[in-house]
Amino acid sequence: MSADRVGLSTMKQWVIRRIQSHQGLSLSSYRMIGDARLAALLRVSLRIKAWRLQVLHRINNMG
């Protein structure tokens, strides 16, 4: 559980850095898309979690 939380916060920082370094994005538009960005981040983290489970499942089935 704590490892997932650490991964999520790291990913959140990465996304924030990506958005901040994105050219032509003003602070006001950055604030406006904040909620959408967090929702997208949640979806991505869930997708990654599902993908990780799939990979683990495949590895377990191999052995």
Which tens digit of pLDDT belongs to each residue from 5-60? 666 777 777 777 776 666 555 555 655 666 677 778 778 888 888 898 898 888 88
Predicted pLDDT at 12: 76
> What is the DSSP annotation of 33-60?
THHHHHHHHHHHHHHHHHHHHHHHHHHH
pTM of the predicted model as reported, rounded to 2 decimal places: 0.37
Identify residue 21 by its one-letter amino acid code: S
Predicted pLDDT at 3: 61
| Domain count of the fold of the chain | 1
Predicted pLDDT at 2: 65
Q: What sign for the dihedral angle of Cα 13, 14, 16, 21? A: positive
**Domain range enclosing 58:** 2-62
In angstroms, the CA 39 to CA 21 distance is 20
Predicted pLDDT at 41: 78
Predicted pLDDT at 46: 85
Torsion of CA 43, 30, 20, 48, to 10 degrees: 0
